[in-house]
A and B are shown apart, each in its own frame.
Chain A
């Protein structure tokens, strides 16, 4: 099956550094620095736990990003299945040994950090399916036999994650996998049918939802339903963003956040805080920064030779886009609060690790764009 190959590339370290996509590197760095300021503001303008920890994580994982990029795309291709299996085992581990916090079991205690394997699965599933569709022939793609494995590797982790419960992450993991299948050429018909059957199954699915999840969806449909309860987050977030106006209230002056009106301001609502303090122009800048990062990854996909690289870059770029958009739509009151971090900006080690890993692999596609993958 897998033949041992040398992971040593023919490229020297100097070539590798020179062939980095510097626009992407700078964009990530700028976003990282902005996220540090935002985190500093959530701590009330002091270097407290969240700020310090966020800065440390950013640089640690930014370093990891370079290491990942310098490792040949062949290595990532070869270890894709194993990586998926390992992450899946970790997810299983969460189910039995996980840490419970605010009603859901999402973390594994690794002593030096609490790892959230579901975040890693976002990248792991893309890797697995990219390799899978890279390897099967174009005729096989739409044959039923070759759909069984992708559907299985897609559904197994999202069931595990959804039952943690973490609806938001499971949907985003699924979205990443579906994107790969779509890009690989699985017929539109298939997506339409499964979409329709999903809708048909929706009432059953709803009966499995926890009361708080139901309430979140109802609240999204009508935030004023319970302004002091479930609708509170959406309303306060909209107030914060709206009151930011064109230019914002100024750094460290976001009254909504420092007076604690904003929930989860370190994590899911970090964009709200930023938007309140820096206004429309600040928000637009962040949006453009994300657009830049995404378009650079797509560009890498364009120039990379292997279909594995293309599939991976396009899928990751699209998934990354979805993470950003879902988070923003959530805080802007366009989607229910499902709990999904904003890549790189939000506080959270596992998310940061997964995103840097994903970006690193994309960068590896750039550096090793001409290396064939079999």
Chain B
């Protein structure tokens, strides 16, 4: 059938060879193309692909650094760290998320609600970003998880450290930490480099103020991972750096003691060293549980904090604004003396009220105090006396003195929650209220009512600066620098009693800034405060301490919430019989010991009624506690300065 002839074969063979030649040429072209591609990938773009390969190979897990510790003056840890067992999940490494969650639910006791929440979070973020499945496991749960780990692709057991506080006595001043929020990331620049998922950062108080330094340096673990994200081997670990630790001037024992005294009250206490401004105690009540914030707050607990009318979350010592009430009378008197408006023995007659342009101004003592001079005016806290003094003094001069002594501006910097209060004067009213000042308002200001607004720490500073003889001090809560110039000056003065230094030498030799024109005026005020606390008729006489070691000199005050109506005044309505919300805030400021002042204190009890009844007893107990620990405290100062020399 098919019989190829031999000539045919030769022609065919030539045809085949010719066509093969074309194919061979085409092959050569393709081969060159392949080599070109290899050159392009392996030579020209090698660097790019090497880095891509490393990106495949290596994966880094950031490690949250350990927060620095916050200590009290005696090195007791007020905020420390404890080990924490967590479960993280990297969604991209998990093959089947739904299945994984079912397994995790069986092992870890997670609610369906939480699972739904986690799934939502996963959808929002990048697949390689870890999320925290469980914040805080106990050891038995954690070891159970590790047992099943090989079946749980994408799950990472993490051992880290978490903030812990010994108790809630310093909750307000220390603040609390909790998880970074999106807003934090946007507003706080320093977080950009240190943000690790689930890391707790300071939200209020010292934790917030110190956050940048106390966080530390973020560490990381670099692993070689396979295509499924499984860690094959550890390449490098950098544990990061523990954050800086801070020592404060606070005394934990006093904090605890004061906190117990204030239980159930809405109150604040501030204690300050009158010479170097060390804040020994700063307590606000009611307090809250700072440990509850570390691992995500329980909703019920949060609601109970928010709804409590005593406002447990507010640091009343720094951010509570109260009219200073009669405690301002010390400054009114001082201002009048310094401005030569009155002399100490000038007298006014108190008949229980005065009238000005038809308006009645009442003294708290309905019957009146009779003939009153400066000392008696402060001792009895006679309102009429101070109406008269203020009227003569004028609000602008009063405001000038009040500002000099620390009212109207923040005492500690960097606490975002701190408020500056108001020291009113004519300009202020024009600017903020848009009206002219009335003389009647000067009278109200003279007894610390009206527009006056102050924080307990301001009143404490005011008292301290009177107690130390009228020198400016800079209150501080971090025990980083020891500035005891004022004590050095006093020591020098005691050793050279006949050579009191002129003012300019004080400034240059001891770097002191006197707040007075004549120190005698300061001493007059101190003496008047002594009489108020220690002589019959004084407003806090009932709570005096006779042991000279503890004797204090103070001034009561009450800041009005509602003005009494004439009817109430006639009926002699007592504060105790008013509804809680309508009662006056009770205030008391003092310094002690009177002979050798060391500490100033301010006590505020919201709706406590009168300062003498509600605030002074608390001050008395705290003063005693602080003075009992005074020797200990000075020893720490001596030891530390001895070491540093």
Chain B residue at minimum C-beta to C-beta distance from A247: B42
- CB <8 Å contact, B56 and A255: yes
A185 touches B19 (CB 8 A): yes
Contact A246 B50 (CB under 8 A): no
Say if the beta carbon of A238 comes within 8 Å of chain B: yes
Q: Other than A239-B52, A255-B56, A334-B33, give 16 A-B pairs with Cβ distance below 8 A.
A: A138-B12, A184-B12, A239-B49, A241-B38, A241-B41, A242-B49, A243-B49, A245-B46, A259-B225, A275-B42, A280-B39, A287-B31, A298-B24, A321-B27, A328-B34, A332-B38
Bound Cα distance from A243 to B27, whole angstroms: 27
Residues of B within 8 A of A261 (CB): 56, 226-227
* Cβ–Cβ < 8 Å partners of A134 in chain B: 4
Main secondary structure of the interface of A (DSSP, over half): helix
> Which one of A6-14, A32-40, A195-203, A306-314 is at the interface?
A306-314
For residue B35, CB closer than 8 A to chain A, the reply is yes
Query: Judging by beta carbons under 8 Å apart, are A294 and B27 in contact?
Result: yes
Listed by A's residue number, 28 A-B pairs whose Cβ atoms lie within 8 Å are: A1-B1, A134-B4, A182-B19, A183-B16, A183-B19, A185-B15, A240-B49, A240-B53, A242-B48, A242-B49, A242-B52, A243-B46, A243-B49, A243-B50, A243-B52, A245-B42, A256-B53, A259-B224, A259-B232, A260-B228, A261-B56, A279-B42, A287-B34, A287-B35, A307-B16, A325-B30, A328-B34, A332-B34
A56 at the B interface (CB under 8 A): no
Q: How far is the CA of A249 from the CA of B53 in the complex (A)?
A: 11
Asked whether B9 lies within 8 Å of A307 as measured between CB atoms, the reply is: yes
CB distance from B125 to the nearest CB of A (A): 16
0/1 interface trace, chain B 594-630, chain A, CB 8 Å (1 if under)? 0000000000000000000000000000000000000
Q: Find chain A residues with CB under 8 A from B227 CB.
A: 236, 259-261
- In the assembled complex, the CB of B56 is this many whole angstroms from the nearest CB of chain A, namely 5
A238 to B46 Cα, complex, angstroms: 10
Per-residue CB contact flags for chain A residues 266-302 toward chain B (1 = under 8 Å, else 0) read 0000000001000110011001000100100010011
* Interface check B119, CB cutoff 8 A: no
CB contacts (< 8 Å) of A244 on chain B: these are 42, 46
Collect the chain B residues with CB atoms within 8 Å of residue A307's CB.
Answer: 4, 9, 12-13, 16
C-alpha gap A128/B463 in the complex (Å): 113
A207 within 8 A of B: no
A17 CB–B CB distance under 8 Å: no
B16 adjacent to A310 (CB under 8 Å): yes
Asked if B228 and A325 make an inter-chain contact with CB atoms under 8 angstroms apart, the answer reads: no
Q: Contact string, B1-37, partner A, CB cutoff 8 A, digits 1/0?
A: 1101100110111011101100110010011011101
Digit string of B247-270 for contact with A (CB within 8 Å is 1, else 0)? 000000000000000000000000
Count of interface residues, chain B, beta-carbon cutoff 8 Å: 43
- Taking the closest CB of chain A, its distance from the CB of B46, in whole angstroms, is 4
Residues of A contacting B50 in the complex (Cβ-Cβ under 8 angstroms): 242-243, 245
Q: Are A245 and B43 in contact (CB under 8 A)?
A: yes
Q: 8 Å CB contacts to B: which residues of A1-34?
A: 1
The 7 closest A-B CB pairs, nearest first, are A242-B49, A243-B53, A260-B227, A259-B226, A280-B42, A245-B46, A135-B2
Cβ of B57 under 8 Å from chain A:
yes
Q: Please state if A137 and B35 are interface contacts (CB–CB under 8 Å).
A: no
The contact size tier of chain A is 35 or more
Shortest CB-to-CB span from A257 to chain B, Å, is 10
Residues of A within 8 A of B (CB): 1, 134-138, 179, 182-185, 236, 238-246, 255-256, 259-261, 275, 279-280, 283-284, 287, 291, 294, 298, 301-302, 307, 310-311, 314, 318, 321, 325, 328-329, 332, 334
Partner of A298, one of B20, B46, B52: B20
In the bound complex, what is the Cα–Cα distance between A205 and B57 (angstroms)?
A: 40
B93 CB to closest chain A CB (Å) equals 12
- Whose C-beta in chain A lies nearest to the C-beta of B10? A307
Q: Given A183-B20, A287-B35, A255–B49 Cβ distance below 8 Å?
A: no
Whether A242 lies near B34 (C-beta < 8 A) is: no
The verdict on B45 contacting chain A, using a C-beta distance below 8 Å, is yes
C-alpha spacing A321/B483, complex, angstroms = 88
**Please, how many angstroms separate the alpha-carbon atoms of A298 and B23 in the complex?**
11
**A255, B4: Cα distance in complex, Å:** 59
CA distance A299 to B590 in the complex (A): 113
Q: How far apart are B120's CB and chain A's nearest CB, in angstroms?
A: 21
The reply to whether A325 and B226 form a contact with Cβ atoms under 8 Å apart is no
* Contact assessment for B34 and A329 in the assembled complex, using a CB-CB cutoff below 8 Å: yes
Output the least CB separation between B6 and chain A (Å). 10
A94–B228 alpha-carbon span in the complex (Å): 35
Tell me the bound Cα distance from A246 to B19 in angstroms.
Answer: 37
**Given the complex of chains A and B, what is the CA–CA distance between A135 and B20 in angstroms?**
19
Q: Residue on A with the closest CB to B53?
A: A243
A314 and B20 contact, Cβ closer than 8 Å, known pairs A240-B53, A259-B227, A260-B228: yes
- B27: A residues at CB distance < 8 A: 294, 318, 321
Q: How far is the CB of A337 from chain B (nearest CB, A)?
A: 16
Decide: B16 and A314 in contact? CB cutoff 8 A.
Answer: yes
A244 to B39, CA, bound (A): 11
Residues of B near A260 (CB, < 8 A) are 226-228
Q: How far is the CA of A255 from the CA of B53 in the complex (A)?
A: 8
* B20 nearest CB neighbor, chain A only: A314
A134 to B8, CA, bound (A): 11
List, in ascending order, chain A residues with CB within 8 A of B56's CB. 236, 239, 255-256, 259, 261
B23 x A318 contact (CB < 8 A): yes
> How far in angstroms is the closest Cβ of chain A from B222?
14
Cα–Cα, bound, A259→B4 (Å): 59
Do B42 and A301 touch across chains, with their CB atoms under 8 A apart? no
Contact assessment for B16 and A138 in the assembled complex, using a CB-CB cutoff below 8 Å: no
Residue ID in chain B nearest A328 by CB atoms: B34
**Distance between A189 CB and nearest chain B CB, rounded to angstroms:** 14
A329 CB to nearest chain B CB (Å) = 7
- Contact check, A241 vs B4: say whether CB atoms are below 8 A apart: no
Which among A136, A184, A283 is the interface contact of B38 at CB below 8 angstroms?
Answer: A283
Q: Which of B17, B27, B38, B42 has the most CB of A within 10 A?
A: B42
Asked if A138 contacts B15 (CB within 8 A), the reply is: yes
Closest Cβ–Cβ distance, residue A25 to chain B (whole Å): 22
What are the residues of chain A within 8 A of B35 when measuring CB–CB?
Answer: 284, 287
**Which residue of the partner chain A has the closest CB to B92?**
A228
A314 to B52, CA, bound (A): 42
Answer whether A242 and B42 are a contact pair too, CB < 8 Å, given A183-B16, A259-B57. Answer: yes
Residues of B within 8 A of A325 (CB): 30-31, 34
- Give the residues in chain A near B15, CB-CB below 8 Å: 138, 184-185
Residues of B within 8 A of A321 (CB): 27, 30
Pairwise interchain contact A334-B23, C-beta atoms closer than 8 A? no
* B289 to A: closest C-beta gap in Å: 45
**B4 contacts A280, C-beta separation under 8 Å:** no
Q: Give, as a whole number of angstroms, the nearest-CB distance from B79 to chain A.
A: 43
Determine the distance from Cα of A255 to Cα of B16 in the docked complex, in whole angstroms.
47
